[in-house]
Structure 1
Amino acid sequence: MQVMVGAWSWLTDASHWSGQDGVWVRLGEHLYVSGVALVVAAGLALPLGLWLGHLGKGGALAVNVSNAGRAIPVFAVLALFMVSPLRSAGYLPTIVALVLFAVPPLLTNAYVGMREVDRSVVEAARGMGMSGGQLFGRVELPLAYPLVMTGLRAASVQVIATATIAAMVGQGGLGRIITAGFNTYDTPQVVAGAVLVAVLALLVEAALLLVDRLLGPRRPRPSRSPS
């Protein structure tokens, strides 16, 4: 309980939120690294997963390979990049490591979502004379959308939580607050940093849920039977 009280005191101290090492600066760094990694991972994984799911060929191999990537320690990948020529490339090593971490859930959910579309609906659309592009855009993609969004939300939370490792190789982000607490044996600061990361992940997931509600394809409401 004393640690939680100390963490609350740290979070409510205005001096910890301002300055070059303040929370707002670290939050901006964290959002930048996580956002770029998610955009790149989505740009790579979603088109490939959706296309393979539409074709129904080669997807199982791609999904198995991407799932095998989950077993690769992200910190080990980051440490490897930091001893390579990429060390002087700013946040690039962290972004690459996070992209490798984010691709598996995005690719898997996109492929599975396309393959789980009811085949009878697909065949009916083909029977109506729809082309491959029309079938993909008007039938398969809207039906696969919920699972695709689930993968995006899962990847977002994982990337935001994992981006804290950037601090362990001297880069920015909210992880710097945690590592600074470890270096000074300040447990309340460590807890405060962890709380900030957790709150950020929850807020991003809530924002994606809101976007899903506002912009996602409308799902028909079940009709009420007449009484």
Structure 2
Amino acid sequence: MNVFLEAFAWIFSPDRSTGYLPLWEAIVQHLGFTFGSVAIAAAIAVPAGWAIGHTGKGREIAVFLSGAARSLPSLGLVVLLYLVIGVNFKEQAAFVAFVLLAIPSILAGAYAGIEAINRSTIEAGRAVGMTPLQVLWKIEIPLGLPLLIGGIRSAVLQVVATVTIAAYVGLGGLGFSLIQGIQTRDASQILGASIVVVVLALALDGLFAVFQRVVVPRGVAVQNFPSARRRTRRTSVPTA
């Protein structure tokens, strides 16, 4: 219990607002690495995923590449790119590693969201004269958006954890305090930095969970509501 008290004392200590890398600045750096790399990954993976889901072509290749990318060790990938690209470009090397780790989840969410749509809905759009591009933008993308946000949510959680270990190659972020605590054998600093990372990850997860519910098209939510009410009525026990 004392260890946790000391960890929270470290977090809220006035010393965290001063020094080489204040805690608030480390959090900003951490978020910058996370959202910057996820944004680049989304710019690559989302159009590719939409194209795969819309045309049905290239899915096997996407699944293979996603599986291969998921199996890459995070720390090993960061260190490898750091050595290949060069010491003077350590931030760029880290960004490339984070982007490669974020792409599989976003790509899977993009094409799975379109594939999950009932084919009769798409055929109805075509029957009223929609062009393939209109079907994509007015039917497939809006209905597939919740799964896409779910993919981005998974990518953010993976990257926000991986950014922590990037401190091994001299980057900032919350990993700096964690690595420094390991080097100095300061248990309160190690635990305190870990708690901040966990809280940050939970906050981002909760934010994307809410966003994932918000982007559900209103028509879909309204359509599901009556069926939910019928299920409730069937399972309710009549009172005497």
For 1:201, the aligned partner's letter is A
- Residue 17 of structure 2 is matched in structure 1 by 17
C-alpha distance in structure 1 between counterparts of 2:123 and 2:217, whole Å: 21
CA shift at 1:16, angstroms? 1.5
For 1:138, the aligned partner's letter is K
CA shift at 1:207, angstroms? 2.5
For 1:5, the aligned partner's letter is L
Whether 1:34 aligns to 2:27 is no
- Residue 176 of structure 2 is matched in structure 1 by 176
Q: Any residues of structure 2 matched to 1:26-65 within 5 Å, and which?
A: 26-65=26-65
Larger deviation: 166-175 or 82-91?
Answer: 82-91
Whether the 8 Å CA contact 2:143–2:216 is kept in 1: the answer is no
Q: Secondary structure at the match of 1:21?
A: coil
CA shift at 1:28, angstroms? 1.5
Whether the 8 Å CA contact 2:146–2:215 is kept in 1: the answer is no
Whether the 8 Å CA contact 1:63–1:107 is kept in 2: the answer is no
C-alpha distance in structure 2 between counterparts of 1:85 and 1:117, whole Å: 42
Whether 1:113 aligns to 2:113 is yes
C-alpha distance in structure 1 between counterparts of 2:44 and 2:28, whole Å: 24
C-alpha distance in structure 2 between counterparts of 1:87 and 1:40, whole Å: 22
CA shift at 1:97, angstroms? 0.5
Whether the 8 Å CA contact 1:18–1:24 is kept in 2: the answer is no
Whether the 8 Å CA contact 1:41–1:99 is kept in 2: the answer is yes
C-alpha distance in structure 2 between counterparts of 1:10 and 1:53, whole Å: 49
TM-score normalized by the length of structure 1: 0.93
C-alpha distance in structure 2 between counterparts of 1:76 and 1:98, whole Å: 12
Aligned residues: 226
> What percent of counterpart residues are identical?
35
CA shift at 1:212, angstroms? 4.0
Q: Deviations over 1:143-194 (max 9, x none)?
A: 1111111111111111101111111111111001110110111111111111
Gaps of 5+ in 1: none
TM-score normalized by the length of structure 2: 0.88
Q: Secondary structure at the match of 1:83?
A: helix
RMSD (Å), alpha carbons: 1.8
Larger radius of gyration: 2
CA shift at 1:18, angstroms? 2.7
CA shift at 1:86, angstroms? 3.3
Whether the 8 Å CA contact 2:38–2:156 is kept in 1: the answer is yes
- Residue 122 of structure 2 is matched in structure 1 by 122
For 2:5, the aligned partner's letter is V
Whether 1:167 aligns to 2:167 is yes
- Residue 220 of structure 1 is matched in structure 2 by 221
Superposed structure 1 runs of 4+ greater than 6 Å apart: none
Q: Deviations over 1:64-118 (max 9, x none)?
A: 2111111111211211122224321241111111111111111112111111110
